């Protein structure tokens, strides 16, 4: 932003402030505090600008102040400067111009990590693990992923020339140059759907950007029209939400036209609305299970909560996040925007699932979730008891697999990914991702790859606790009396990495198989492979096969 524009912004802000002060002088005393603080603010800036020892960075100073003001309210109210508008639009629409691939950093280079199906990177044959050497004949070695991402993105229809290095079976690298034509990339809300087992359909919904409702409607229609479907699983795990209208459209796939899905209530009357389904549903009879977890939030909670309130679906999994706040965007001068929390939303039973009251912060600024003892009971359409203020409680609780320390370390150190790249380099093809299983010889090779060639290291929880106890005891000058005992405990806990890899073999093998399937069949391959060993999906399948049990869960016991 130029100094002239900064000056214009500041003058504009002062005019607005003083106009507000002038107008509010005739308003009730409740506005006195506002005018007082605005007066302090403008005078403070004037003093800083006049007397501070160094020249002020006005843009930075104002943005820090604005950001701090927004952050003090809640995590969702946010100032979006002009430079960040494109990124914000991508988050809400799921669209951008580029080659269609995630990227990441490995050593001195940025690499391809996840090409998207049906977009330029995948169509040109780029693979996960390909190292980006040059973009348009300019080296990108030692550039960070943000810089490379900006160079790869651009207007749809324009070309970009990429030189990559690809791992070969013998461990060498082959350099390849490809020319890609950028396209408008629309990240799918529904990355996968299909019949998983015994006539049970499955739809994975990852987000609620534009067209989420249409994507779910099309997936559900295709499942029903092409297969004998005895039940449907809608997977909302890890779905952070998105557009409210798309939540209504998704719920509408399973609910009759004219049903209330959600209402919003704000301090300003214009922010209070009731939203109804507007179209005929795809189906209202087929047994439905909705998978949720603590990562399911906002629009995902509107869908799962409304389907629960109408007794249309069994909600299965873990308690959801608890975000019952609605944001809207307001235009600011110079193409900036303010995303502001304007209302709370309420699902058909009348409950608000917001778990944190940000208006009641402690003196240190911390907040806490609503206690279970303070929950208020509501009823579904069929009379089942449900509660407010804690997210969506599942009808049937499950516990997802927890990763062991060794599995977490393998993931964070990218060793699953790196071995999958190596496997692809030496294995031209695999049959499919549903039935792929790593051989014993391949798993032994993976163990050798990890233990002998990658300096793999990690600490167990017990080792971390002992290390923490050592630090605390040293700080409190209590270490000397217990150092021998601590050393003895630590020696007993020293783990054999190879033994740990074999002890957790089943879990590690599944995770590795998923990463290898992604090498050949991209994200769809990863999802298909994951489903085969997903305990919650298996629980949902068994539930939906038992229609009497489904009906029993959704009916009030007399």
Helix (H) or strand (E) run with residue 138 in it? strand 138-139
395-412: b (≥16 Cβ within 10 Å) or e: bbeeeeeeebbbbebbee
Q: Are 227 and 199 in contact (CB under 8 A)?
A: yes
Indicate which residue of 131, 259, 323, 337 is catalytic. 323
Q: What is the reported pLDDT for 28?
A: 53
Q: What is the dihedral of CA 145, 147, 148, 153, to 10 degrees?
A: 120
CA–centroid distance for 303 within its chain: 17
- Any idea which fold 95-186 has? Pdz3 Domain (2.30.42)
Q: Are 174 and 166 in contact (CB under 8 A)?
A: yes
Q: What is the reported pLDDT for 397?
A: 94
356-373: b (≥16 Cβ within 10 Å) or e: beeeeeeeeeeeeebeee
Indicate which residue of 263, 298, 304, 306 is catalytic. 298
Q: Are 243 and 92 in contact (CB under 8 A)?
A: yes
Domain boundaries, the chain: 3-72, 95-186, 192-335+342-361+368-400, 405-460+495-541
Residue 13 DSSP SS3: helix
- Any idea which fold 192-335+342-361+368-400 has? 2-enoyl-CoA Hydratase; Chain A, domain 1 (3.90.226)
Q: Which two tokens stand for residue 471?
A: 């630090």
Q: What is the reported pLDDT for 11?
A: 46
Q: What is the reported pLDDT for 22?
A: 45
Q: What is the reported pLDDT for 523?
A: 95
Residue found under tokens 């060993």: 533
Q: Are 121 and 115 in contact (CB under 8 A)?
A: yes
Q: CA-CA distance, 107 to 121, in Å (whole number)?
A: 22
- pLDDT tens per residue across span 452-468: 766 777 766 677 777 78
Q: What is the reported pLDDT for 364?
A: 76
Q: What is the reported pLDDT for 86?
A: 82
Active-site residue, 323 included: yes
Q: What is the dihedral of CA 277, 279, 280, 285, to 10 degrees?
A: -30
Active-site residue, 309 included: yes
Q: What is the reported pLDDT for 492?
A: 64
Q: What is the reported pLDDT for 495?
A: 58
Q: What is the reported pLDDT for 15?
A: 43
Closest CA to 382 of 161, 145, 550: 550
Active-site residue, 375 included: no
Q: Are 144 and 103 in contact (CB under 8 A)?
A: no
Q: What is the dihedral of CA 245, 250, 253, 259, to 10 degrees?
A: -50
Indicate which residue of 309, 388, 500, 534 is catalytic. 309
Tally of CB atoms within 10 A around 189:
24
Alpha carbon distances (Å) from 465 to 99, 366, 396, 489, 521: 45, 26, 35, 11, 41
Q: CA-CA distance, 295 to 318, in Å (whole number)?
A: 9
Low-confidence ranges of the chain (pLDDT < 70): 1-30, 453-454, 459-461, 491-498, 558
Q: Are 79 and 99 in contact (CB under 8 A)?
A: no
CA angle 438, 104, 89 (to 5 degrees): 120
Residue found under tokens 């003058």: 11
Directed axis angle between helix 479-493 and helix 461-475, to 10°? 170
Alpha-carbon Rg for the chain in angstroms: 28
Question: DSSP states of 487-516 as a string?
Answer: HHHHHHH---HHHHHHHTHHHHHHHHHHHH
Q: What is the reported pLDDT for 29?
A: 55
Task: Decide the pairing of beta strands 273-276 and 260-266.
Answer: antiparallel
Q: CA-CA distance, 302 to 275, in Å (whole number)?
A: 11
Helix (H) or strand (E) run with residue 107 in it? none
Strands (E), 377-466: 377-379, 385-387, 396-397
pTM of the model: 0.87
Q: Which two tokens stand for residue 37?
A: 């603080």
């Amino acid at each position: 932003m130029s100094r002239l524009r900064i000056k214009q912004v500041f003058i504009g802000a002062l005019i607005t402030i003083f106009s507000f002060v002038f107008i509010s002088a005739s308003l009730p005393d409740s506005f006195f505090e506002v005018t007082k603080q605005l007066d302090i603010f403008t005078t403070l800036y004037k003093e800083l600008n006049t007397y501070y020892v160094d020249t002020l960075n006005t843009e930075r100073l104002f943005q820090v102040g604005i950001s701090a003001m927004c952050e003090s309210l809640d995590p969702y109210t946010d100032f979006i400067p002009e430079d960040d508008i494109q990124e914000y639009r991508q988050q809400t629409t799921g669209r951008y111009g580029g080659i269609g691939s995630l990227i990441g950093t490995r050593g001195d280079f940025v690499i391809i990590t996840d090409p998207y199906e049906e977009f330029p990177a995948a169509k040109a044959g780029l693979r996960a693990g390909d190292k980006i050497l040059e973009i348009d004949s300019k080296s990108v070695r030692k550039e960070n992923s943000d810089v490379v991402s900006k160079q790869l993105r651009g207007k749809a229809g324009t070309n970009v020339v990429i030189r990559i290095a690809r791992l070969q079976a013998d461990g060498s690298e082959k350099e390849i140059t490809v020319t890609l034509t950028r396209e408008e990339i629309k990240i799918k809300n529904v990355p996968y759907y299909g019949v998983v087992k015994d006539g049970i359909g499955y739809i994975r919904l990852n987000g609620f950007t534009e067209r989420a409702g249409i994507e779910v409607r099309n997936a559900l229609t295709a499942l029903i029209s092409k297969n004998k479907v005895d039940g449907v699983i809608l997977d909302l795990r890890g779905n952070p939400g998105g557009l409210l209208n798309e939540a209504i459209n998704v719920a509408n796939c399973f609910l009759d036209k004219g049903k209330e899905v959600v209402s919003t209530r704000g301090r300003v009357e214009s922010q209070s609305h009731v939203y109804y389904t507007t179209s005929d549903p795809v189906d209202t009879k087929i047994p439905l299970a909705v998978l949720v977890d603590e990562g399911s939030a906002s629009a995902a909670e509107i869908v799962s909560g409304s389907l629960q309130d109408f007794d249309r679906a069994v909600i299965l999994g873990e308690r959801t996040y608890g975000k019952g706040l609605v944001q809207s965007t307001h235009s600011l001068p110079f193409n900036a925007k303010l995303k502001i929390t304007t209302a709370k939303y309420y699902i058909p039973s009348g409950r608000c699932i917001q778990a944190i009251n940000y208006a009641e912060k402690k003196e240190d600024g911390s907040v806490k979730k609503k206690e279970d003892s303070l929950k208020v009971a509501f009823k579904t359409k069929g009379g089942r008891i449900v509660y407010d203020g804690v997210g969506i409680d599942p009808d049937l609780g499950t516990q997802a697999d927890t990763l062991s320390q060794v599995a977490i370390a393998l993931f964070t150190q990218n060793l699953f990914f790196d071995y999958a790249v190596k496997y692809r380099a030496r294995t031209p093809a695999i049959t499919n991702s549903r039935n792929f299983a790593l051989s014993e010889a391949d798993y032994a090779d993976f163990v050798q790859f990890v233990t002998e060639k990658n300096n793999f290291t990690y600490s167990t929880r017990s080792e971390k606790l002992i290390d923490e106890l050592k630090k605390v005891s040293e700080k409190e000058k209590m270490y000397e009396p217990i150092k021998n005992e601590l050393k003895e405990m630590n020696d007993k806990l020293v783990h054999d990495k190879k033994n740990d890899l074999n002890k957790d073999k089943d879990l590690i093998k599944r995770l590795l198989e998923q990463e290898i399937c992604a090498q050949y069949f991209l994200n769809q391959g990863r999802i298909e492979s994951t489903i085969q060993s997903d305990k919650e999906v298996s629980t949902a399948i068994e539930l939906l096969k038992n229609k009497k049990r489904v009906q029993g869960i959704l009916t009030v016991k007399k």
